[in-house]
Structure 1
Amino acid sequence: MTKPVRRPGLDAEGHIVREGSLARVPPGYGPVVATARQRLPEVFGTRLHSAYLYGSIPRGTARPGRSDLDLLLVLHAEPTEADRADARALDAELDTRFPQLDGCGTLLFGRERVLSDLERHDLGWFVACLCTPLLGEDLAAALPRYRPGPLLARETNGDLALLLPRWRRRIADAEDTEQARRPLVRFMSRHLVRTGFTLVMPRWNGWTSDLREMAGAFGDYYPQRAGQLRAAAVLGYEPTGDRDVLRSYVDDLGPWLAEEYARVHGVKAARPD
């Protein structure tokens, strides 16, 4: 049996290498990160266990005026509505203060959930491999090393069929304008490209967060759908507000991808409501 080729994003033992670093933060985003580091303890106090950056800023690929600030906060207890309101207020504050940002989004989770068995190959993997420590104890030390295998594929993106009805509602509820649809195109394009990539990730045997590389890897195994994913990768970086694109996502590409994902990897373990 031929040994699979080891792709980028893995160490010598085949584990996914943690991406991102504070050293890679572009100079123009240094003040953004410094302010976030200062404000988070002021806002959340002793509720905050740890804070992480993820996305283009710690990967060093952020584009002024087009990239957002992505934060993940781990609290000692499960987040409350008050915690979420505080996070939204801080997001708005940072987005208003720094013109180089095109939005700010903060995810909130409790420490117990991040370290739970149920989240071991989804949220736990996300923290350990895609998040850059900013404040507090790094939970990656309490999590395993990860390989790009079928279990990781199933638990990260094996829930697309459950998401599609929500996407249809979001599209229906959005204002009928290019401006209102553009964020939906960006979000759904990225999600579909990442799902397409993790579908083939165990065979490709590597990791990347670059949407174009993800679409290219997918196309090696599904040439009949390659053009659709390549187009989605472009829109993930440069979104339009095209209604027909959204319709194609929820009526064609999305349902096909969800069915193929379930066939190949199975369905993600159910989460509590």
Structure 2
Amino acid sequence: MAETIPPRGLDAQGYLLREGSLARVTNPFRPVVAAARDGLLELFGARLHSAYLYGSIPRGTARVGRSDLDLLAVLHEEPAEADRAGARTLLEALDRRFAQIDGGGVLLSSRTRVLSDLERYDLGFFVACLCTPLLGEDLAEYLPRYRPDSLLARETNGELALLLPRWRARIAETAGTEEALRPLVRSLSRHLVRTAFTLVMPRWNGWTSDLHEMAEAFAGHYPERAEQVRKAALRGYEPVGDAVVLASYVDDLGPWLANEYARVHGIKAPRPEDGA
């Protein structure tokens, strides 16, 4: 029998369930996942505590030639710049080797950080609910169960005001060709839709990673901004390299969303890298 996901991703007690599994990886992506697993082991060896797959591939919704490969590698110690460079090289090699994927990324962290009090409702939630174990010990065993409440909303996406200046700088630094702007449109579109969704997540009472479903959940509470977020969801899947779109994100939708988020849920606890 095919594995099914309960409505809104909640168990009978109202806790969020882990959304993906290796059983949901479709046949075209199985060789990609196997190569990624072997590549992480070769790259990090005994320094690797565990590795995870996340995104559309473990959810079983990946599209051949269109979806990206998303990985999280957890090391026994804090990753260094050389580790990040190695991870980028690995992903680039996988992207060249497999036509099934369109780019992707490898996030790096340490076991200590994942399990820290500061990250419990951000990176910890990400590992426990949005990541699928691929290698090593599953850190979800050390993390709490999560409800779709205001605390989770604040700690997962309550940093938009801090991100907006960085986004403006990235836009200014990016070459103005359509091909150069397309990945940036995809990335910012997805982030804004997810932020819009978590703004209303406690009222919607559940979790989804489908951008269109996220947009509709938001639209039910903010109809005056609904069309903007629906278009952002579409661009998250079908990005266009349009500087006007990016300007609308950082000059209009983004600032409004940051202010409303702070009003409803507060601001995410600062991280050391924020300069706090």
Query: Which bracket does the TM-score occupy, shorter chain normalised?
Result: over 0.9
* CA displacement 1:32-89 (0-9 Å, x = unmatched): 0111112211110111000000000000111111111100000000001121111111
Q: Name whichever of 158-167 and 86-95 sits farther off.
A: 86-95
In structure 2, give the amino acid aligned to 1:212. H
Q: Which residue in 1 is equivalent to 2:139?
A: 139
User: How big is the shift at 1:7?
Assistant: 5.6
Once the two structures are superposed, the pairs formed by residues 22-37 of structure 1 within 5 Å of their partners are 22-37=22-37
Once the two structures are superposed, the pairs formed by residues 155-170 of structure 1 within 5 Å of their partners are 155-170=155-170
Tell me, in whole angstroms, the C-alpha distance in 1 between the residues paired with 2:85 and 2:242.
31
Once the two structures are superposed, the pairs formed by residues 10-89 of structure 1 within 5 Å of their partners are 10-89=10-89
Q: Which residue in 2 is equivalent to 1:3?
A: none
Contact persistence 1:121–1:151 (CA under 8 A): yes
Contact persistence 1:7–1:204 (CA under 8 A): no
In the superposition, the TM-score normalised over structure 1's length comes to 0.97
Sequence identity (%)? 74
Once the two structures are superposed, the pairs formed by residues 79-228 of structure 1 within 5 Å of their partners are 79-228=79-228
Tell me, in whole angstroms, the C-alpha distance in 1 between the residues paired with 2:115 and 2:197.
25
In structure 2, give the amino acid aligned to 1:51. A
Tell me, in whole angstroms, the C-alpha distance in 1 between the residues paired with 2:182 and 2:36.
27
Q: SS in structure 2 opposite 1:175? A: coil
User: How big is the shift at 1:140?
Assistant: 0.2
* CA displacement 1:137-196 (0-9 Å, x = unmatched): 000000000000000000000000000000001111111111111111100110000000
In structure 1, give the amino acid aligned to 2:181. R
Q: SS in structure 2 opposite 1:105? A: strand
Unaligned runs of 5+ in 1: 1-5
In structure 2, give the amino acid aligned to 1:219. A
In structure 1, give the amino acid aligned to 2:173. D
Tell me, in whole angstroms, the C-alpha distance in 2 between the residues paired with 1:104 and 1:174.
18
Tell me, in whole angstroms, the C-alpha distance in 2 between the residues paired with 1:96 and 1:141.
35
Q: Name whichever of 36-45 and 261-270 sits farther off.
A: 36-45
In structure 1, give the amino acid aligned to 2:112. E
User: How big is the shift at 1:215?
Assistant: 0.3
CA RMSD, aligned part only? 0.9
Tell me, in whole angstroms, the C-alpha distance in 2 between the residues paired with 1:230 and 1:158.
21
Tell me, in whole angstroms, the C-alpha distance in 1 between the residues paired with 2:156 and 2:111.
19
Unaligned runs of 5+ in 2: 1-5
User: How big is the shift at 1:257?
Assistant: 0.1
Aligned length, in residue pairs: 268
In structure 1, give the amino acid aligned to 2:21. S
Q: SS in structure 2 opposite 1:221? A: coil
Q: Which runs of 4+ in 1 moved over 4 A?
A: none
Tell me, in whole angstroms, the C-alpha distance in 2 between the residues paired with 1:123 and 1:168.
25
In structure 1, give the amino acid aligned to 2:209. S
User: How big is the shift at 1:104?
Assistant: 2.7
Q: SS in structure 1 opposite 2:104? A: strand
In the superposition, the TM-score normalised over structure 2's length comes to 0.96
Asked if residue 232 in structure 1 is aligned to residue 232 in structure 2, the reply is yes
In structure 1, give the amino acid aligned to 2:144. P
Q: Which residue in 2 is equivalent to 1:246?
A: 246
Q: SS in structure 2 opposite 1:270? A: coil
